[in-house]
Amino acid sequence: MKTAIKFLTHLTIIAILTALTQVGGLLYGLVLLFYRPQQRKTIKRAAVFIIGYLVLNLWGIPQLASYFGRVELPQNEKIQAHNYGYRLLNRHYVTPELRAQLEELAAQMQQQEPDLVLVYLDANFPFIDGFPLFPHLSHNDGKKIDLSFVYRDEFGKLTNDKPSRSGYGVFESPKLGEFNQTEVCLNSGNKQYDKTAWLTLGVPNKDLAFDAKLNTRLLQNLSANGATHKIFVEPHLKHRLGIGSNKVRFQGCHAVRHDDHIHWQIK
């Protein structure tokens, strides 16, 4: 029984690490298989795994990803991950074309607001088309990325901070009189539709305000980009911001609401 429990525990850890990082489960399994110290094996194995994972994350995976047609997103004064967790979990890989388009978009946005940094959330894993990026339905080919909305602080100053620690889960909900797609989806039985509210990891910046002007410009630039295939935002935001492009569309009730971020995918 004890052996069976250990086996199931390790199997569960492998599954979780695979879902979160793509490669962590494989590395964990290799450490279990090949590294068997006689004393304090749990601590030593954990140390070997952590060090090995960091080495792979920083030097190995970026090199190997190029063989699968993926590159890392940059981390600079124009483009940044919302937090380093996205990079640590290998969720910041895209095709070279999407990276180039993102860099062009960042330059466009900074022409109007020099202090604006384009902040991304989940992109794709580094390897294998079709490999799912939990909990997303389609981030599996290097051509998709989630972008954060732009906000102003309580003094009206542009900020690159976001309401939640994860970047997800704090919604720019419909105002009185606006169409409420969330209500429609929930009433039709799609109970998962607003569950990203549980993925905030905390809300340290509750006083931030949605910047309608800059978010309109962001969506207009995305829509005008010839490489753009689809953009997902909630219908009430498309209407509120006056976005007429048919590239900006509703993602369907089978997914989750998109008034906490923008989903962008290229052809």
Span 203-213, pLDDT tens digits = 999 999 999 99
Edge-to-edge, what's the strand order for the sheet holding 158-159? Answer: 158-159, 151-152, 209-210
Q: Is 221 helix (H, G, I), strand (E, B) or coil?
A: helix
What angle is formed at CA 254 by the lines to CA 251 and CA 260, rounded to 5 degrees?
55
pLDDT (tens digit, 9 = 90+) per residue, 224-258? 999 999 999 999 999 999 999 999 999 999 999 99
pLDDT of residue 38: 59
pLDDT of residue 40: 60
Dihedral sign, Cα of residue 82, residue 83, residue 87, residue 89? negative
CB 126 within 8 A of CB 61: yes
Residues in the chain: 267
pLDDT (tens digit, 9 = 90+) per residue, 77-108? 999 999 999 999 999 999 999 999 999 999 99
pTM assigned to the model: 0.95
Q: Which amino acid is at 119?
A: V
**Long-range CB contacts (< 8 A, 24+ apart) of 157-160?**
158/113, 158/115, 158/116, 158/211, 158/214, 159/208, 160/80, 160/115, 160/116, 160/117, 160/119
pLDDT of residue 41: 73
Structure tokens at 111: 């022409």
Domain boundaries, the chain: 2-67, 70-266
How sure is the predictor about 111, in pLDDT bands with cuts at 50, 70 and 90?
very high
Q: Is 211 helix (H, G, I), strand (E, B) or coil?
A: coil
Number of H-type helices and E-type strands within the chain: 9, 11
State the DSSP string of 78-110: SEEESSTHHHHTT--EE-HHHHHHHHHHHHHHH
pLDDT (tens digit, 9 = 90+) per residue, 30-68? 998 887 665 567 788 889 999 999 999 999 999 999 999
CA distances from 267 to 91, 138, 231 (A): 20, 13, 11
| CATH 3.30.1380.10 holds for 70-266 | yes
pLDDT (tens digit, 9 = 90+) per residue, 166-192? 999 999 999 999 999 999 999 999 999
CB 22 within 8 A of CB 134: no
